[in-house]
Amino acid sequence: MKLLQKKNAFILLIIICLLLLGFYRDFVFKNMNALIQSHELNVAFSMPSSLSVFDHLEYNTLITIKWILTFAFSAFYLITSMITINILFKNKKYIRITIGVYIAIILVSAIFMTLGYFLPTTYKNMYSFSRYLMGLVQSPLILMILIPAFKISEKE
């Protein structure tokens, strides 16, 4: 019984962390995007005080930081998903599938981004789709799909 309580407490902690991280990620990226757009439009924009470190950075530096944050948040969600799957199922195959799903989505996103780069008339659509895919790997959505899929798989 104690093991089940610990497992449930840990899952609750993971859920809380995912929610808090999701809100923080949204806050950071919306403000970074607004700051980047202010550079593009040459208008004034002040970051919230908690993000004021970004206020005086150049456009290219902001873009680079945004890429770094994208991969950092993606890595965090992948690691959290792996830990959660391990706690719930204790199945290395499921962990490999989880890693594979993340890698596949990132690769598809990279392919669309690359295609958009080489096909300038479709760049905006390709970039939007690529960005959408990267949003998936920076959210708990993949985990929310994999857990029921693995549960169903175990029942068969």
Given a contact cutoff of 8 angstroms between Cβ atoms, the answer to whether 78 and 98 are in contact is yes
pLDDT at residue 53 in the model: 94
Q: What ranges do the domains of the chain cover?
A: 2-155
pLDDT at residue 1 in the model: 66
| pLDDT tens track for 111-128 | 999 999 899 888 889 989
pTM of the model: 0.88
**Alpha helix (H) residue ranges in 54-91:** 59-89
Q: Write the DSSP symbol of residue 139.
A: S
Given a contact cutoff of 8 angstroms between Cβ atoms, the answer to whether 101 and 81 are in contact is no
Q: Which helix (H) or strand (E) holds 49?
A: none
Looking only at Cα atoms, what is the longest distance across the chain? Answer: 61
> What is the C-alpha to C-alpha distance for residues 61 and 59, in angstroms, rounded to an integer?
5
The stretch 48-66 carries a mean pLDDT of: 94
